[in-house]
Amino acid sequence: MRRTLEEIFRHKLALLLILLIPPLISAVVVYFLPYTYRTTASLWALRRYEVIGSTGVESNLEATPATTQVTALNELLHTRAVALNIARNTNVAATLNLPQDVLSTPSRLDDALYEEITQNVEVKAQGYNMFTVSYANRDPQIAQKVVQAVLQNFSSQSQVLIIAEAQKLLENYKKLLHDAQNELKSAADVEAKFLADHPDLTQDVLRTNPDYASLSNPQYALLHSQTKQAQAKVENIQNSIADLQRQLSSQGKDTDTIFSVIDPPKVPQYHESRTRLYLIAAGVALGLALVSCVIYIVILYRRNRAIYTAQDLHKMSNLPVLMQVPQLAAKAIPVALEQTR
């Protein structure tokens, strides 16, 4: 510990420079970075984000309307089709200062645009119904256009995604209905053939009703129950199709009511404050400086060959120690000299 403190105080100027230079360099770098302009739009979630599934309209009832829409919009922005559509329609590439080799390679350009949109467009819930969409860019016009494009894509694409599962489900229901109708026709044909082969039973059916007539003939009772089950299956599927079509029609009418824009995106007049960026850069630089100081002190400690104790001398030589002068404080040295005279 004594050696370490001694090295620190001997080289305090060098250590001070190591601590100060990285934060100063980071501050200079941040100062010369181009300014960014942030556009923010405030939206009001009118209802929870919903999809139409096999059980009807489905949504996360434990989350707030704003949270469900923020989750849906964030997932939508992470699809390449939507992210690239936003970036290309707003000419984001012109503000990114991309190298020429990236601009000339479509796949690499798409990756850069996708990363720009997914990482820099921020969607946050601000309350039970309110949420915000924001984006920062060097060009204030581009910043406003990107946020506007995000809102337009969310409004149009969300409805497509909401009813996509319902459309697939409707197609499945139609196939099930076709199969159920074939089963009903087969069961009805078998029942009709059985009645044709048994005229007396046919008279009972005409005189009373099929349910009553089936009591006197177990075989006919089985055939009639199969027909009734097939008929109930057809009716259930038809009811499901009717409900699903009604929900699809309702969703189609509510295209513009998933959210309402409270504060539309505007072209920012002032650039963003750099205080947060300065603090982050300074914190990172200071952390690196502290690590550098520790490494520097370790190097100084390892290179220090000075002898402080008799034990240190024994490590370097086998010569015996004849005398050891005790360590005296600076104030005690004059007193010791006086006593030796």
Q: How confident is the model at residue 255 (pLDDT cuts 50, 70, 90)?
A: very low
The token duo for 248 is 């699809």
Q: Could you tell me which residue, 304 or 49, shows the higher pLDDT? A: 49
pLDDT digits (tens, 9 = 90+) for 52-96: 655 555 666 788 999 999 998 999 999 999 999 999 999 999 998
Overall pTM > 0.75: no
